[in-house]
Amino acid sequence: MTRSALQMLAALVCGTLFGLGLALSGMLDPARIQGFLDVTGRWDPSLAFVLGGAVSVMFLGHLAIRRLPRPAFAERFDLTENRTIDRRLVLGSALFGIGWGLGGFCPGPAVAALSLGIVEPLLFVAFMVGGMVAHDRFLARRAA
Predicted local confidence at residue 12, as pLDDT: 94
Cα–Cα distance, 143 to 88 (Å, whole number): 10
* Residue 121 CB neighbours (<10 A): 23
SS3 39: coil
Cα–Cα distance, 69 to 77 (Å, whole number): 9
Packing angle, helices 87-103 and 119-134, rounded to 10: 160
Q: Mean pLDDT across the chain, nearest whole number?
A: 88
Is the pLDDT at 64 greater than 70, yes or no?
yes
- pTM for the predicted model, two decimal places: 0.74
123 within 8 A of 99, measured Cβ to Cβ = no
Q: Residue 15's domain spans which residues? A: 3-143
Domain count, the chain: 1
pLDDT digits (tens, 9 = 90+) for 22-31: 898 888 888 8
Q: At 4, is the pLDDT very low, low, confident or very high (cuts 50, 70, 90)?
A: confident
Is the pLDDT at 76 greater than 90, yes or no?
no
Q: At 133, is the pLDDT very low, low, confident or very high (cuts 50, 70, 90)?
A: very high
- Of 33, 36, 54, 53, the C-alpha closest to 45 is 36
Q: At 143, is the pLDDT very low, low, confident or very high (cuts 50, 70, 90)?
A: low
